[in-house]
Copies of this chain bind each other. A is one copy, B any other.
Amino acid sequence: MYQNDGLITLLISCPDQPGIVAAVSHFIFEHQGNIVHSDQHSTDRHGGTFFMRVSFAEDSFTLQEADLVRAFRPIAETFRMHWSVHYSRLRKRAAIFVSKLDHCLTDLLWRWKSGELAIDISCIISNHRHLEHITQMYAIPYYHFPVQREHRRDDQQRILDFLANRVEVDLIILARYMQILELPFVQAYPHQIINIHHSFLPAFVGANPYERAFERGVKIIGATAHYVTEELDEGPIIAQAVIHCTHRDTVEDLMRKGRDVERRVLAEAVRLHVEDRVLMYKNKTIVF
């Protein structure tokens, strides 16, 4: 796919004012970049925040990364930008966290293997041993980190230390990892932890959403992929999808239908994140 092949992507947010697009596009043009995609969004017509994602071909661009950063800094300062630069050839390194359910994990692994997800999977981390066999098929290291409620913070600190020292990762995917992450963990990976919640949030926040959906008698169920923040199930939503259900569906049927939605939504969110399509605004996402 040409879109992701050899692209440089700038992610920008700043107070809205005239001239931003002109300045950025002129910068790219004067260094021989050819814009392949560009998206803008303003939260408000007057006095809002401006967001931009612009991708251009790396091959013709005349600046190396360090030079790009140096040359772009004056523009960024003029417009008081938050900004970051991403090279599509530098694949993000992900750790996948799982517990006992395998549908999201196997789906991610298949998409990764087939080339759909342009990431490196550094390792699988689990509080159980159940899924170890699957990961052997894919030759991905599997690390078992038991977590117990009474000393969860210490148990998770061990994972943090492990990641800090042994397996550097840019992205943590909670693929039905049934453990609440402690504050130090969340803070160590701001907007780098993606969770799949098995309801169309904010409906059925918390545990056992399928049971509660069944109890309430809803006619649709869904799934939500979101960044993990300090507030449980309250992080910025990246992607959501739903499926219809009826009175004939038992809780098990809801779970079966839900598995299809969960894995699709999680994979979609990971793809959007990996392609640097997600910016943050308040507690919400801009998805370009």
Contacts and interface: CB of A to CB of B under 8 A. Distances in A.
Interface of A: 1-3, 16-22, 25-26, 28-29, 32-42, 44-45, 57, 60, 102-103, 106, 110, 114, 116, 137, 200-204, 216-220, 222, 236-242, 246-248, 250, 252-253, 256, 260, 264, 281-287
A22 B18 contact: no
Q: How many copies does the complex hold?
A: 4
A163 B109 CA distance: 33
A36 B25 contact: no
B41 A248 contact: yes
A162 B279 CA distance: 53
Q: Is the interface of A mostly helix, strand, loop or mixed?
A: mixed
Contacts of A35: 18, 20-21, 40
Contacts of A16: 34
Nearest to A271: B256
Contact of A103 (B110, B236, B264, B281): B110
Nearest to A286: B247
19 contacts: A2-B44, A2-B250, A17-B34, A18-B29, A19-B29, A38-B40, A103-B114, A200-B200, A202-B203, A202-B216, A216-B237, A216-B283, A216-B284, A246-B287, A247-B281, A247-B284, A247-B286, A247-B287, A260-B264
A51 B40 CA distance: 15
A288 to B, nearest CB: 9
